[in-house]
Amino acid sequence: MTAPVIPSEGWGVLHLFLHVVRDGDVDVASARHSMLRAHDALVADGHQAAWFPVLGHKADLGVMAIGPDLARLQRFQHEVLATGAVRIGWSYVSLTEGSEYTSTADDERRRLEVEEHITDAAEVEARLATWTERMAHYREHRVHPTLPAKASICFYPMSKRRTGDDNWYALDFEARKALMAGHARVGRTYAGRVVQLITGSTGLDDWEWGVTLFADDPLQLKAIVYEMRFDEVSARYAEFGPFITGLLQEPAEALAAVGLA
For the chain, how many residues are written?
Answer: 261
Phi, psi of 240 (to 5 degrees): -115, 145
Q: Which of 92, 156, 190, 237 is catalytic?
A: 156
CA dihedral sign, ordered 170, 93, 57, 252 = negative
- Confirm whether 190 is a catalytic residue: no
Buried b (16+ CB within 10 A) or exposed e, 121-132: eeebeebeeebe
Alpha-carbon gap, residue 94 to 115, rounded angstroms: 37
* Widest Cα–Cα separation across the chain: 75
CB atoms within 10 A of CB 27: 12
How far apart, in whole angstroms, are the C-alpha atoms of residue 214 and residue 251? 17
Beta bridge mates, 20: 86
CA separation (Å) from 213 to 92, 147, 197?
15, 10, 6
Nearest Cα neighbor of 48 from 11, 85, 98 is 11
Residue 189's contacts (CB-CB under 8 Å, 6 or more residues apart) are: none
Active-site residue list = 156
